[in-house]
Amino acid sequence: MPQESSRPAADERFSKRKAPATKERRGEPRKPAAERNERTPENIIFGIHPVREAIEAGTEIEKIYFRKTAGETLSPAERTQVGAANALREQALEADIHIQEVPIEKLNRLTHNGNHQGVAAVIAAIRYKDINELTEELEAQIAQGEAPLVMLMDSVTDIRNFGAIARSAECAGAAALIMPAKNSAPVNAEAIKSSAGALTLIPVCRVGSLKGAITRLKNIGMQCVAATEKSNTLVYEADFTRPTVIVMGAEDRGISRDVLSLCDVQAGIPLMGRIESLNVSAAAAVILFEARRQRFEQA
């Protein structure tokens, strides 16, 4: 008689293995973060007192998240925390720090279920330059006959584009980058990597009002050139040998109307193909190095 094979049948050998049941699947509660050896990212601080101390110490803060409590039923202890958090919110606004309300679940994720008291702050990866200090430095350069070049980004929110623009600006010898405190890509590790480290080399100003920043720069003798495909003037026709602020807008909406109205020149890049526009970082590189070309020829 033929012997029976000890090998499993094909359907048994190739059947999918079931993953072992996790504690969550078995209905057991998940361990606290500390017991799972999870660590809060080093650029996150949380809790009302630590965040307040960071603000008062002048620590560069990218953003502060506050717990969204509207419509929630709060315990007496939570209501006390909300009162303290509201005072901290006012302090943050006075310091021109961007704030955002988020569900408690996001705060729990950011802090790995730490005792955040409804507040968590993201520490900036770089130290921003004060717009007043930058204006004074640029004014001194202009007084000495120099023509500084500044890149201003209006709501460029994509991190890779932001980093690429910073890289091109640094390579082209720009004096600084200016960005809005709201509606802008964060300056974090990914942005620094995308910039090939340029964001740690070129001064970056984060301002509450782009209009206010432009007005300051125009008052010291700088012209503002807006990059827009809607202009009949080409970038090659603009005079970049003067002290200049180049203004780039968001890819989807372009430069905001309020900012555009303050610009002295609107210029576009001629496109010969069927695609209607360049990526904003590519367009920024073209304009920056057109400015550099004109300055080389003048020298």
The pLDDT score that the predictor gives to residue 53 is 94
pLDDT at 4 over 90: no
Q: Among residues 46, 273, 31, 63, which one has the least CA distance to residue 180?
A: 63
**What average pLDDT does this structure show over 203-225?**
96
pLDDT in tens, 67-82: 998 877 788 888 888 8
Neighbours of 146 (CB within 10 A): 12
Q: Report the share of the chain in percent with pLDDT over 70.
A: 86
Q: What is the pTM of this model?
A: 0.77
- Is residue 80 included in any domain, yes or no? yes
What pLDDT does 40 receive?
A: 57
Whether residue 139 is found in the same domain as residue 278: yes
pLDDT at 13 over 50: no
CATH value at residue 58: 3.30.1330.30
Q: Is residue 209 part of a domain?
A: yes
pLDDT band at 132 (very low <50, low <70, confident <90, very high): very high
Number of domains in the chain: 2
User: Does residue 7 sit within a domain?
Assistant: no
Tell me what percent of the residues of the chain surpass a pLDDT of 90.
69
